[in-house]
Amino acid sequence: MTPAVLAALVGAALVGLGLYGLIVHPHPLRKLLAFNLVGSGAFLVFGMVARRGAAAGLAFDPVPQAMVITGIVVAFAASALAVALVLRLFATSGRVDLDPRVWTRPDDDSSTS
């Protein structure tokens, strides 16, 4: 078991852990934290693939590592968007509950075009 494989197994554990947090926590920011755990776990799997691909004088396969770098930035951008939505939701309504039953009004006359 090389360090890379160990790291990927840790990644798998993180994916499971993050999934648990996503399902169980009602607060959207906690869900976001859990999502970030899942994301970083997935990236660790990429990292193992990169390390296993050491060849031709390189200590790693650069392609998966480049993908991870792209993925980290995209995940951050997603977090920023989610945070902005949550903060705005709190500012306009004082609540951050995502349960749709909380938001459905009995006579929903809201109409937009």
Partner 1 sequence: MSIQTFLDIALALLVIGVAVWTIVARDLFVAVVAYAVYGLFLALVWIRMYAPDVALTEAAVGGGVTGVLLVAAGKRLDMSAIDIDRQKPSTTLAILAAGCSILFAGVLMIVILSLPAPAPTLAPQAAAAASGPGAGLGNPITAVLMSYRSFDTMLEKVVLILAVVGVWSVGADQAWGAAPAPFGPDRPYDALVFLAKALAPVGAIIGFHIFWTGADAPGGAFQGGALLAAMWMVALMARLIELPRIDARWLRLALVAGPAVFLAVGIAGAMLAGSFFAYPSAFAKPLILSIEAFMVLSIAVALTMLVAGPPYRKGAP
Partner 2 sequence: MIDGAETTQGGDLLVLAVLLPVAGIIFSFVLGGRYAERVSICLAPLGLVLACAVAAAVAHAGKPLAYAIGGLPPPLGIALRADGISATMLVAVAIIVSAAFLYARAKFDTPERIKETRSALTFWILLQAVWAGLTIIVLGGDLFSLYVALEVMTFAAVPLVCIDGRPETLVAALRYLLFALVGSICYLLGVALFYGSYGTLDIALLAQKAGPNLVVWVAASLMTAGLLAKTALFPLHLWLPPAHANAPAAASAVLSGLVVKGSFFLTLRIWFFILPTLPAVGPSTVLGLLGSAAILVGSALALRQPRLKLLIAYSTVAQIGYLFLVFPLATGAHVWSTIGWSAGVMQVLAHAFAKAAMFFSAGLLAESLGHDQIGRLKGAARALPLTFVTLGLGGLSLMGLPPSGGFSAKWLMLRASVASGQWIWSAPVLVGGLLAAGYVYRILTPALGDGEITLKSPPQRGREVIALALVLIALALGFMPPGFFDFIEIGRPLAAGRPA
Within 38-77, the residues that bind partner 1 by CB under 8 A are 40, 43-45, 47-63, 65-70, 72-77
37 by Cβ neighbours in 10 Å (0-12 / 13-18 / 19+) ranks as buried
Alpha-carbon span 71 to 65, nearest angstrom: 10
Q: How far is the CB of 2 from partner 2 (least distance, A)?
A: 14
- What is the binding site for partner 2 (CB under 8 A)? 15, 22, 28, 31-32, 35, 38-39, 42, 45-46, 48-49, 52-53, 63-64, 67, 70-71, 74, 77-78, 81-82, 85-86, 88-89, 92-93, 95, 97-98, 100, 103, 108-113
Choose the contact partner of 111 out of partner 2, partner 1, none; CB within 5 to 8 A by kind.
partner 2
Choose the contact partner of 106 out of partner 1, partner 2, none; CB within 5 to 8 A by kind.
none
* Residue 32 makes contact with partner 1 by CB under 8 A: yes
Q: How far is the CB of 76 from partner 2 (least distance, A)?
A: 12
Residue linked to tokens 């390390």: 51
Report in angstroms the alpha-carbon separations of 37 from 28, 71, 90.
Answer: 14, 13, 24
Alpha-carbon span 81 to 73, nearest angstrom: 13
